[in-house]
Each structure stands twice: as structure tokens, then as C-alpha cells.
Structure 1
Amino acid sequence: MSKQYDKELSVKELAALPDEDIDFSDIPALDEAFWKNAKVQMPDRVKTPLTVRFDSDMLEWFKSQGRGYQTRMNAVLRSFYEAHRH
């Protein structure tokens, strides 16, 4: 089902939507062939060691997601950077 909204939804509002209210029709199905040939590709970028300070609750949340939390934090920062650099 798809539904038109009068305003853009916040992240909290989107998270509260029941699955049946989300329109997935524009997302192609991923079959066995896709997963058979899928590979994770990490960007070949040089990373610079850095000492930073983050809010404790945010850091603990990223760490609670398991190994690779620094990579995920970098991905979030990169996403913000990509969205705002132009």
C-alpha cells in the first residue's frame, strides 16, 4: 500500500509506520543470483587516526551494534558530508 502524506515525515514518524503502510513497489526483489554474486566492497580510502570526544550514550549505542562500530560511525559522518558538501 502507498499513502501520500501532507508533510515530510520525521525519522521517528517513519519508524512508527507499520510495515503494511510502506510502499515497497519501487524496490526490485533480490533473488538467489544476486546474493550468490554479492560482495561487500569497502572504499579504498586512507583513514587518519584521530582522538575525538563523543557523547557517551551515542558511543555506547554504536558499540552495542557489534564489531565495526567505528566504521559505522564513519559511514554516518560520510553520509552527512556527502549530503552537505555541494
Structure 2
Amino acid sequence: MKKQKPEHVSQADWDAVDSPPLDSSFLAKMRPAAAEHPSFPPKVRGPQAQVKKTPISIRLDEAVVSSFRATGRGWQSRVNQVLRDWLKEHGNAI
């Protein structure tokens, strides 16, 4: 399988790299970096914030969902905000 050059890499840079193919014997020899370099610090996640949202299943009109999705990333948060605003307007403070 021939590798394809990414558009952001110049042809000269692409030609200057001589990478061996990653065949199954090469991949079988690979080991985790921590096993090969024990001095690397371990990956530790910090304290996690409590979940503040509850996953639900809800049926909405296709037009409503597609309109919100068309606004791009974060569309579910915008739906949440619209619902919060409605609750405030109707005297159901959160």
C-alpha cells in the first residue's frame, strides 16, 4: 500500500523521509513507551467534575433537530439553553 502525501507537506520533504513499511513483524515488536522508558511519568487523570447533565431520549420534530444540528458543534447545548430560557420565562426557575 503506497502512502499518500498530505497536501501540507512539500514534495521535497516527502521525498527526504525514508520510512520503512509498517508490516506485521514490525508492529509485533512494538512495546508501550512506558515499558521501554520507565522514567516517563505515568498518565494520571486529574479529578473529574461531577456530571451535570442527564442523558435522555426524547422525540423531536425532524425539522427542529436538523435546524439545531445545522448550527454546528454544540447544538445540543443550545437546545439545553432554549429549554432553560423557556423554564425561566414560565416561572419555573432552575
Band of TM-score, shorter chain: 0.3 to 0.5
**Higher Rg:** 2
TM-score normalised by structure 1 residue count: 0.46
